[in-house]
Amino acid sequence: MVNLGSPYQGYLYAYPHKTAYRPLDPRPPLADVWAGEDTGALFLYAHIPYCEMRCGFCNLFTRANPPAGQVAAYLAQLRRQARRVAAALPGARYARAAIGGGTPTYLSAGELTELFDLLEDATGAQLTAVPMSVETSPATATPDRLAVLAERGASRISIGVQSFLDDEAHAAGRPQRRAEVDRALAAIRASAGGAELNIDLIYGIPGQTRETWDASLTAALTWCPEELYLYPLYVRPMTGLGRRAGDGPDPAWDAQRLALYRHAADRLAGEGYEQLSMRQFRRRGTGAGGGPEYCCQDDGMVGLGCGARSYTTDLHYSFDYAVGVRPVRGILADYLARPEEDFDAAEVGFALDGAEQRRRWLLKSLLRAEGLDPGRYAARFGDAVDEDFPSLDRLRDAGYVDGHRLTAEGLAHSDAIGPWLVSAGVRAAMAGHVTR
């Protein structure tokens, strides 16, 4: 049998996890990194590492309220980086795009226009022709900014609400007001040019009950979002909540989060939403964005900006990463001071050998509700997935996997199954990461 332990161990939205990355010595030129890669259907990601505040649960690479002039300097440096990266990937074409952070709409409407201009000018990407997601917040989803997003082709706008109850939002380290949330959602629906709406909610907040959780679900559903992402609260090192947290597992909190998750999954199913992963729920009958074909298991990603990651077949790379205020400021200062030619090489990353490439393909497939296609796996790697990963039988015996798909119980335990499948090498690298 499998003893997964706590159902809440870690969110594997990428593999290997960024805490497994290490400085690359020597630094490989990007032209060599991308040589031989299929660049006909890439994902373009731009990172804006600024917010009006850092939420209590946030461990993303971001700085709150940067000094005057830093955003302008960042956009100028981002343009230089984008030009150098584009030169290393001649003829690259983009099938998907996303702008995240941080909070991209921390930028003013004029700065957002500059951002879109530099991305298109430097990379040649036609952002209005591909599905593009942009993140926003209640405080920054203003009509003038949203008008820029609509004009420049944003097809999905994701807003982090977390809770529609002011007391719960404050308990999560997010001092927002319900009136501000409703104003932002109304502005998105009125100004976003038909873009799909995603609302992020969090369960497991201190003081939250099934009734208050249900109230947030009800409030979100009044806006008929095309998507809902439901996140269990994690208390991570160096975050606002992490500095106040105790040590060790909390079975009662695990049970509470699991009960709230099950309630939401059942309710959303009854409201016409299809569950696509532990976190993602999409309203039935809505499209997935269209655009050119893109496969997250196989196709690469080009990340631009301090805090962005890039993925090739055998190397994932980025810049340095931190959460604490001083290290983040130092990393940003280093990024802004770099000579343009310094962006010609990868700096921090993880090299994936054949075994890790197979494991990544497994995890990126299995943790989705549609599961893993063993035929596609065999076509990609030449072997049967069950021969490569006999541990799948243990998950089947435990009731977490049926064939090559997670069961309902398996979906509920995705944040334990993902870490359980991490390789020993990646696990050791993550354990050796020093949180800053």
Condensed to tens digits (0 to 9), the pLDDT of residues 374-400 reads 999 999 999 999 999 999 999 999 999
The CATH fold of domain 20-283: pyruvate-formate lyase- activating enzyme (3.80.30)
Say what the pLDDT of residue 186 is. Answer: 97
What helix, strand, coil percent values describe the chain, rounded to 5? 40, 15, 40
**Does residue 246 have a pLDDT over 70?**
no
Mean pLDDT of 143-152: 96
Instruction: Please identify which residue in the block is written with the tokens 């997964």.
Output: 4
**Token reading at 63:** 């700085």
**Does residue 248 have a pLDDT over 80?**
no
Domain boundaries, the chain: 1-16+354-436, 20-283
Q: What angle in degrees, to the nearest 10, is found between the helix axes of 414-421 and 354-366?
A: 170
Say what the pLDDT of residue 289 is. Answer: 54
Q: How confident is the model at residue 243 (pLDDT cuts 50, 70, 90)?
A: very low
Say what the pLDDT of residue 390 is. Answer: 97
User: 286 in the Ramachandran plot: left (φ > 0), alpha (ψ -120 to 50) or beta?
Assistant: beta
**Does residue 247 have a pLDDT over 70?**
no
Say what the pLDDT of residue 62 is. Answer: 84
Query: Phi/psi of residue 212, each to 5°?
Result: -70, -35
In the chain, % of residues over pLDDT 90: 82
Say what the pLDDT of residue 15 is. Answer: 95
Mean pLDDT of 328-346: 95
Q: What is the mean pLDDT of the chain?
A: 93
Say what the pLDDT of residue 287 is. Answer: 73
Which is more confidently placed, 279 or 248? 279
Mean pLDDT of 254-262: 97
**Does residue 371 have a pLDDT over 80?**
yes
Q: Classify 114 as helix, strand or coil.
A: helix
Mean pLDDT of 101-126: 96
Query: Phi/psi of residue 257, each to 5°?
Result: -65, -40
Say what the pLDDT of residue 244 is. Answer: 46
DSSP for 197-221? Answer: EEEEEEE--TT--HHHHHHHHHHHH
Q: What CA–CA distance (Å, rounded) separates 346 from 323?
A: 21
Q: What CA–CA distance (Å, rounded) separates 354 from 266?
A: 39
The number of angstroms, rounded, from the C-alpha of 243 to the middle of its chain's C-alpha atoms is: 23
Say what the pLDDT of residue 325 is. Answer: 85
Q: How confident is the model at residue 241 (pLDDT cuts 50, 70, 90)?
A: low
Q: How confident is the model at residue 256 (pLDDT cuts 50, 70, 90)?
A: very high
Cα–Cα distances in angstroms (integers) from residue 109 to residues 62, 112, 130, 146, 377, in the given order: 20, 5, 21, 8, 44
**Does residue 87 have a pLDDT over 50?**
yes
